């Protein structure tokens, strides 16, 4: 009898709860619909204004600026333009000086065929005729169908031919030097415009391909990837052939060199990832992890703000990487004991991780998504409700960009101002930054009243 | 002109001392005057006198090892300036202050000399304006305290308060410096 009552009581309270949840859902839907609309409207507006400004630049202007850029960047193009100009100038001069001679021979050579001036040759015909002669002479082809007859004409031709010798030599030299320089440079200069916020992966091992597959699956992440390693081109090509969304470029060079990193526009990159490099190693050889540390140092010396993620196999290197100010260190061995132990203490947890991490598919699993502007400043329970009811995602926690430890904040107003000032002055003078690098921390399942600011991104389970 | 009891009472260490006894202290104080730039106390020197600044502005500074472009050098760093308000300094300071200026009716400096024989001066004190000040020696002061033990209690309480405050600040300074030290080491 008692138990029956209990069940009854329980069921009635379940009804209550259900009612409440439903009421909440309606409330949240109403509450957040406006926010959702607002944030979407904001995004639309941003896009529109971006497109508008792009169309303002006229087509001719872009062609002209492209040509001038090309002219400045390409030595060969420059020489060709000047060579062509020289021939054109010579032709003009010769046409003027030897007009009677060339205009006379036009009719003999061309006969009754097509002429600009109809039946009688005009100046354009003469010019073209002379131009033909000039090109034939300049290229050292020398048909001989047209040739100067007067002594003056021959004399001028001698001068032109001698000058031509120089010009041809210069042109040949220029062409070959440009080609040689290109070969020396490896002339695979990448197109600057698309590299911004891209992912650079230095080093190659099988984990890279799997990592790329996960990056490919998340449509919000960058699509531009540069791989730097000296693994055989064939292997890389095979490994990266299956990707549709990703635009992958391979630089087959030594990634420890500053010049190579700069070629990959490391200053502009979103993430610089260093992995144990197995390029050219035999199966029983271990990757050289000194290279990882060295590369991290090089990257940080190019620009302190680069987000560097290092994957390391040997624990010994962790402290070195910390010293190199690497933002995130991935050390897989760290997770293994936990996984093993959890099989004993909490069976199911390792399987959950398996499911979440290794089985990640497109639009499934744990992902970081930006929080709509309208939700910034609200509390965790509201944001969580937004994801729950709007997208049916479970909000697990937040990834927060933190400025890192700051000595200035730490000292605050304590102690005497003179000592604080002296510390700042002296550390500044010694080139030591008063704060550590920005890094990402996670806040998992915070209190309901936890307030979200602009630096938060949502970790959701989709 | 001798020092009056009301002048003595303006100094925080003596503020709780009854006027009658203040006049007794006033009698023991020797009044002096100095021009800007005069060094009143020198860091590291032993002293058995306390200075009572009645009028003017003084700068407190310390010798410190600092890193300059040419390596480490010893330089004198200003820490604070003290200025009287009752009366205010009679002329402008010779240099503009680079540190904060603390104002009070009148100041007592070198107060540790009232506690310790031959207390070492902890910092330099330099006159920035014309300064009117009085000198109170430990010898005179102890004689007064011997006669009127109640003075000792109130004055030494104020001295102890200032010493405790200094100690708290110094502890914070050490903690700041230690942090900065580790910060510099780990980079």
**Residue B186: inside a domain, yes or no?**
no
Q: For residues A241-270, give the mean pLDDT.
A: 86
**Residue B100: inside a domain, yes or no?**
yes
Residues of B with CB under 8 A from a CB of A: 64, 66-67, 77, 79-80, 99-100, 169, 172-173, 175-177, 179-180, 183-184, 186-187
Closest partner residue to B173 among A323, A407, A416, by Cβ?
A: A416
Q: Same fold for the domain at A68-185 and the one at A193-330?
A: no
User: Predicted confidence band at A55 (pLDDT cuts at 50, 70, 90)?
Assistant: very low
Q: For residues B77-102, give the mean pLDDT.
A: 87
Count of H helices and E strands in chain B? Answer: 4, 11
Confirm or reject contact between A422 and chain B (CB < 8 A): yes
DSSP string, A173-202: HHHHHHHHHHHHHT-----GGG-SS-EEEE
**Cα–Cα distances in angstroms (integers) from residue B98 to residues A126, A318, B78, in the given order:** 86, 45, 8
User: Among A44-48, B137-141, B143-147, which stretch is predicted with the lowest mean pLDDT?
Assistant: A44-48
CB contact under 8 A, A407 and B184: no
What token pair was written down for A319? 């402290």
Residue A88's pLDDT is 78
**Residue B181: inside a domain, yes or no?**
no
Cα A379–chain centre separation: 35
CA dihedral A442, A446, A451, A452 (to 10 degrees): 30
B87–chain A nearest CA distance, Å? 28
- Indicate if the pLDDT at residue A57 is higher than 60: no
Dist. CA A270–CA A222, nearest whole Å: 8
Q: Rounded to 5, what percent of chain B is helix, strand, coil?
A: 35, 35, 30
Q: Where are the domains of chain A?
A: 2-58, 68-185, 193-330
Q: Is the dihedral of CA A418, A421, A423, A426 positive or negative?
A: negative
Residue A34's pLDDT is 57
Phi, psi of B48 (to 5 degrees): -125, 30
**Cα–Cα distances in angstroms (integers) from residue B183 to residues A174, A191, A230, B69, in the given order:** 56, 41, 38, 21
Residue A77's pLDDT is 72
Dist. CA B148–CA B146, nearest whole Å: 6
CB contact under 8 A, A414 and B176: yes
**Residue B50: inside a domain, yes or no?**
yes
A162-A167-A169 Cα angle (round to 5): 95
A411–chain B nearest CA distance, Å? 6
- Indicate if the pLDDT at residue A56 is higher than 60: no
User: Predicted confidence band at A5 (pLDDT cuts at 50, 70, 90)?
Assistant: very low
B96–chain A nearest CA distance, Å? 17
Kindly state the DSSP code that residue B83 receives in the 8-state scheme. E
Closest partner residue to A414 among B64, B77, B172, by Cβ?
A: B172
N- to C-terminal Cα separation, chain A: 44
B75-B76-B78 Cα angle (round to 5): 140
A270–chain B nearest CA distance, Å? 24
Q: Are B116 and B10 in contact (CB under 8 A)?
A: no
Residues A148-182 have pLDDT tens digits of 777 777 787 787 788 777 777 877 887 787 777 76
Residue A189's pLDDT is 62
**Residue B185: inside a domain, yes or no?**
no
Confirm or reject contact between A410 and chain B (CB < 8 A): yes
CB contact under 8 A, A415 and B172: yes
Strand A308-311 and strand A271-274: pairing? parallel
Task: Say how many CB pairs under 8 Å bridge A and B.
Answer: 48
- Indicate if the pLDDT at residue A223 is higher than 50: yes
Q: For residues B30-58, give the mean pLDDT.
A: 90
CA dihedral A61, A62, A63, A68 (to 10 degrees): 90
- Indicate if the pLDDT at residue B177 is higher than 70: yes
A434–chain B nearest CA distance, Å? 8
Average pLDDT score over chain B: 86
Number of domains in chain B: 1
Nearest to A155 by CA among A220, A94, A212, A64: A94
- Indicate if the pLDDT at residue A12 is higher than 60: no
Confirm or reject contact between A404 and chain B (CB < 8 A): no
Q: What is the CATH number of the domain that holds B55?
A: 2.60.120.10
Strand B119-120 and strand B46-47: pairing? antiparallel
Q: For residues A393-401, give the mean pLDDT.
A: 87
- Indicate if the pLDDT at residue A296 is higher than 50: yes
State whether residue A230 is helix, strand or coil: coil
Query: Which chain A residues contact residue B176 at CB under 8 A?
Result: 411, 414-415, 419-420, 423
Closest partner residue to B180 among A407, A416, A417, by Cβ?
A: A407
> Is residue A226 within a helix (H) or strand (E), and if so which, with residue range?
strand A224-228
What is the architecture of the domain spanning A68-185? Orthogonal Bundle (1.10)
- Indicate if the pLDDT at residue B57 is higher than 60: yes
Q: For residues A307-313, give the mean pLDDT.
A: 90
- Indicate if the pLDDT at residue A4 is higher than 80: no
CA atoms within 13 A on the CB side of A367: 20
Q: Residue A306 forms beta bridges with which residues?
A: none
Query: Which chain A residues contact residue B173 at CB under 8 A?
Result: 415-416, 419
Cα B11–chain centre separation: 11
- Indicate if the pLDDT at residue B37 is higher than 70: yes
Closest partner residue to A411 among B64, B176, B186, by Cβ?
A: B176
**Residue B162: inside a domain, yes or no?**
yes
Q: Phi-psi category of A404—alpha, beta or left, where left has phi over 0 and alpha has psi -120 to 50?
A: left
Q: For residues A76-95, give the mean pLDDT.
A: 75
- Indicate if the pLDDT at residue A7 is higher than 50: no
**Residue B187: inside a domain, yes or no?**
no
Q: Are A259 and A232 in contact (CB under 8 A)?
A: no
Query: Which chain A residues contact residue B187 at CB under 8 A?
Result: 432-433
CB contact under 8 A, A411 and B77: no
Q: Are A452 and A395 in contact (CB under 8 A)?
A: no
User: Predicted confidence band at A14 (pLDDT cuts at 50, 70, 90)?
Assistant: low
A299–chain B nearest CA distance, Å? 16
Q: Are A236 and A271 in contact (CB under 8 A)?
A: no
User: Predicted confidence band at A253 (pLDDT cuts at 50, 70, 90)?
Assistant: confident
CB contact under 8 A, B175 and A416: no
CB contact under 8 A, B184 and A429: no
Query: Which chain B residues contact residue A416 at CB under 8 A?
Result: 79, 169, 172-173
**Residue B97: inside a domain, yes or no?**
yes
Q: For residues A24-38, give the mean pLDDT.
A: 63
What token pair was written down for A376? 């910034």
Domain assignment of residue B135, given as a range: 5-169
Closest partner residue to B179 among A323, A407, A426, by Cβ?
A: A407
Q: Are A258 and A266 in contact (CB under 8 A)?
A: no
Q: Phi-psi category of B37—alpha, beta or left, where left has phi over 0 and alpha has psi -120 to 50?
A: left
What token pair was written down for B91? 């002329």
What is the architecture of the domain spanning A193-330? 3-Layer(aba) Sandwich (3.40)
- Indicate if the pLDDT at residue A50 is higher than 60: no
User: Among A50-64, A348-362, A369-383, B155-169, which stretch is predicted with the lowest mean pLDDT?
Assistant: A50-64
Residue B39's pLDDT is 92
Confirm or reject contact between A341 and chain B (CB < 8 A): no
Kindly state the DSSP code that residue B95 receives in the 8-state scheme. S
Residue B77's pLDDT is 83
Q: Which chain B residue lies closest to A424 (C-alpha atoms)?
A: B180
């Amino acid at each position: 009898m008692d138990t029956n009552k209990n069940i009854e009581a329980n069921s009635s309270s379940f009804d209550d709860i259900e009612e409440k949840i439903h009421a909440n859902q309606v409330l949240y839907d109403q509450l957040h619909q406006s926010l959702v609309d607002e944030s979407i409207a904001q995004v639309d507006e941003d896009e529109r204004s971006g497109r508008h400004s792009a169309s303002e630049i006229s087509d001719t202007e872009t062609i002209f600026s492209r040509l001038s850029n090309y002219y400045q960047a390409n030595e060969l193009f420059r020489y060709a333009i000047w060579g062509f100009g020289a021939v054109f100038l010579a032709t003009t001069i010769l046409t003027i000086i030897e007009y009677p001679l060339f205009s006379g021979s036009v009719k003999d050579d061309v006969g009754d065929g097509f002429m600009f001036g109809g039946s009688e040759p005009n100046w354009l015909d003469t010019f073209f005729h002379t131009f033909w002669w000039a090109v034939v002479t300049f290229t050292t082809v020398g048909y001989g169908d047209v040739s100067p007859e007067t002594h003056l004409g021959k004399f001028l031709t001698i001068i032109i031919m001698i000058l031509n010798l120089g010009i041809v030599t210069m042109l040949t030299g220029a062409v070959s030097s440009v080609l040689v320089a290109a070969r020396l440079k490896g002339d695979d200069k990448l197109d600057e415009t698309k590299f911004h916020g891209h992912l650079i992966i230095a080093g190659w091992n099988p984990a890279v391909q799997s990592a790329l597959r996960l990056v490919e699956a998340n449509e919000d992440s960058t699509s531009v990837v540069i791989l730097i390693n000296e693994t055989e081109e064939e292997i890389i090509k095979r490994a990266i052939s299956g990707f549709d969304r990703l635009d992958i470029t391979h630089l087959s060079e030594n990634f420890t060199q500053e010049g190579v990193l700069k070629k990959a526009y490391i200053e502009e990159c979103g993430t610089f990832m260093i992995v144990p490099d197995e390029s050219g190693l035999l199966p029983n050889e271990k990757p050289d992890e000194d290279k990882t540390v060295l590369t991290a140092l090089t990257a940080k010396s190019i620009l302190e703000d680069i987000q560097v993620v290092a994957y390391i196999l040997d624990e010994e290197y962790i402290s070195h990487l910390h010293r190199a100010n690497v933002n995130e260190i991935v050390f897989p061995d760290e997770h293994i004991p936990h996984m093993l132990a959890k099989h004993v203490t909490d069976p199911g947890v390792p399987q959950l991780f398996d499911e979440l991490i290794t089985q990640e598919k497109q639009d499934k699993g744990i992902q970081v998504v930006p929080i709509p502007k309208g939700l910034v400043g609200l509390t965790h329970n509201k944001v969580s409700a937004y994801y729950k009811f709007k997208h049916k995602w479970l909000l697990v926690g937040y990834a927060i960009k933190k400025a890192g430890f700051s000595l200035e904040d730490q000292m605050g107003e304590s102690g005497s101002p003179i000592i604080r000032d002296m510390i700042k002055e002296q550390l500044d003078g010694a080139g030591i930054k008063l704060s550590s690098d920005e890094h990402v921390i996670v806040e998992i399942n915070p209190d309901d009243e936890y307030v979200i600011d602009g630096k938060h991104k949502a970790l959701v389970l989709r | 002109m001798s020092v009056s009891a009301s002048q003595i009472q303006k100094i925080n260490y003596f503020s709780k001392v009854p006027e009658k006894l203040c006049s007794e202290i006033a009698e023991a104080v020797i009044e002096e005057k100095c021009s800007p730039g005069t060094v009143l106390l020198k860091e590291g020197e032993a002293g058995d006198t306390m200075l009572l600044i009645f009028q003017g502005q003084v700068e407190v500074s310390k010798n410190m090892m600092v890193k300059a472009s040419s390596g480490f050098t010893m330089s004198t760093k200003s820490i604070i300036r003290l200025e009287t308000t009752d009366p205010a300094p009679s002329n402008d300071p010779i240099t503009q202050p680079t540190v904060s200026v603390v104002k009070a009716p009148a100041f007592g400096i070198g107060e540790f000399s009232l506690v310790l024989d031959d207390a070492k001066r902890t910092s330099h004190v330099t006159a920035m304006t014309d300064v009117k000040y009085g000198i109170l020696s430990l010898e005179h002061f102890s004689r007064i305290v011997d006669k009127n033990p109640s003075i000792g209690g109130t004055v030494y309480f104020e001295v102890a308060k200032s010493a405790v405050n200094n100690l708290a600040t110094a502890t914070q300074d050490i903690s700041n410096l230690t942090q900065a030290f580790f910060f510099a080491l780990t980079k």
